[in-house]
Amino acid sequence: MIIGFDGKRAIENNTGLGNYSRLLVEVLADRYPENNYILYAPALKDNNRMLRLLEHRNIDISTPANSMGRAFGSVWRSKGITGCLVEDHVGLYHGLSGELPINIRDFNNPTVLTIHDVIFRRFPECYNPIDRKIYDYKFNRSAQEATRIIAISEQTKRDIMEFYDIPEEKIDVIYQGCHAQFHRVPSEKEIEIVKKKYGLDNPYIITVGTVETRKNQAMAVRGIRGLPDELDLVIVGRRTPYAKTLDKYISTYSIESRVKFIEHADFADLPALYAGAFCSSYTSRYEGFGIPVIESLSVGTPVVVATGSCLEEAAGPSSPAVDPDDVEEWINTLKEMINYPASRDKIAREGMKYVRRFNDEDMATRTMATYMKAIEEYDGE
């Protein structure tokens, strides 16, 4: 079978959607080598993270064949891909980021749609009105037209059902894994090299993710004042205007020496950055899943997460969960781990065991099962 994918995010995006796209196609190609996999993308771009993917003989990339398609890549992605699917004799198409081409019915074959989250519905204030309307239109239309839908968490499944009135039986929850580099705990030497590289001299708490309002890094910034002075906070992620709010707070309370920003960390350094931390803090107000949670737990570093979305689902029952507005609860939770090292180590061990369920084999097997269901259901129409 030839399986087609929306490949834009895999090629252009080095965060959540891109990581998911690359990982899924790679694990499918490894475990089901009898199939061919084509990524359809508006343009080719240099991306080192694509190298492993392109080593597979059964993976190809398709881009617009004419100058019009190349000049108007977004239009080609919305309409032109469908003609390519027909020409390439693709048997099933998978939209990896909540979107199918608007003329996908002309494909006349089964389709699968992955929806990661509908945060723009839960937190509309974080998006401008035009973007919200575009996202809502695309997600709703695509969800209605897809043969089957993959949700990356039970929380996302509930959101799809609530906002788009999709029947439960049409949705499969398939957890994703994390990059292979997190499958091994870094050595002490590796950790020390990375800490030196980024100037991390003191014990630290780490929080990884785009520095934006919804991610709620303010909780850790405000809370660090309530913890021992020798403990720093390291914020890893791209700064947005929200970072100025954090800067103001840091300046007001003179904690510049205790809060460090790393905006362009090498992806290869993340396992050691996590592993070198006392713990991770991921108190986002809302997520579709929360990959930083399983990345941290995978290398043996415990995580404090926020209640209210899927983060408890990702972190497991042993990981502490706090109200995203209760700084005192966050401080007390961290103090508990500081004062009782055995408790902190137990949380780490149990968390590391829990995240084994988020693995490549399960992701590949369940996704292929969804493809088979989509084919059966489409043929039965």
- Domains in the chain, ordered, with CATH? 2-177+359-379 (3.40.50.2000), 180-357 (3.40.50.2000)
Token pair for residue 119? 């945060």
Alpha-helical runs (H) found in 284-326: 291-298, 311-315
In this predicted structure, what is the pLDDT of residue 381? 66
Q: What is the largest CA-CA distance in the chain?
A: 66
Per the CB < 8 A criterion, the answer to whether 9 and 24 are in contact is: no
- Gyration radius from the chain CA atoms: 22
In this predicted structure, what is the pLDDT of residue 380? 65
Question: What does each C-alpha distance from 359 to 168, 209, 310, 365 come to in angstroms?
Answer: 24, 21, 18, 10
Q: What's the gap between Cα 152 and its chain centre?
A: 9
Token pair for residue 373? 């269901």
In this predicted structure, what is the pLDDT of residue 71? 77
Q: What's the DSSP call for residue 77?
A: I
Q: Give the span between the Cα atoms of 81 and 239, in whole angstroms.
A: 34
The string of DSSP codes covering 323-345 is -TT-HHHHHHHHHHHHH-HHHHH
**Whole-prediction pTM value?**
0.90
Quick: pLDDT tens for 1-38: 999 999 999 998 877 888 899 999 999 999 999 999 99
Quick: pLDDT tens for 307-359: 988 899 999 999 999 999 999 999 999 999 999 999 999 999 999 999 999 99
Closest listed residue to residue 277, CA positions, set 357, 200, 180: 200
Task: Report the SS3 class of residue 204.
Answer: strand
Token pair for residue 311? 């983060």
Q: Give the span between the Cα atoms of 221 and 254, in whole angstroms.
A: 12
Question: What residues contact 116, with CB distance under 8 A and at least 6 apart?
Answer: 16, 17, 20, 97, 98, 152, 156, 288, 289
pLDDT by residue for the chain (381 residues), tens digit each? Answer: 999 999 999 998 877 888 899 999 999 999 999 999 999 999 888 778 788 888 899 999 999 988 777 777 889 999 999 999 999 999 999 999 999 999 999 999 999 999 999 999 988 888 889 999 999 999 999 999 999 999 999 999 999 999 999 999 999 999 988 888 999 999 999 999 999 999 999 999 999 999 999 999 999 999 999 999 999 999 999 999 999 999 999 999 999 999 999 999 999 999 999 999 999 999 999 888 889 999 999 999 999 999 988 899 999 999 999 999 999 999 999 999 999 999 999 999 999 999 999 999 999 999 999 999 999 999 766
Per the CB < 8 A criterion, the answer to whether 255 and 229 are in contact is: no
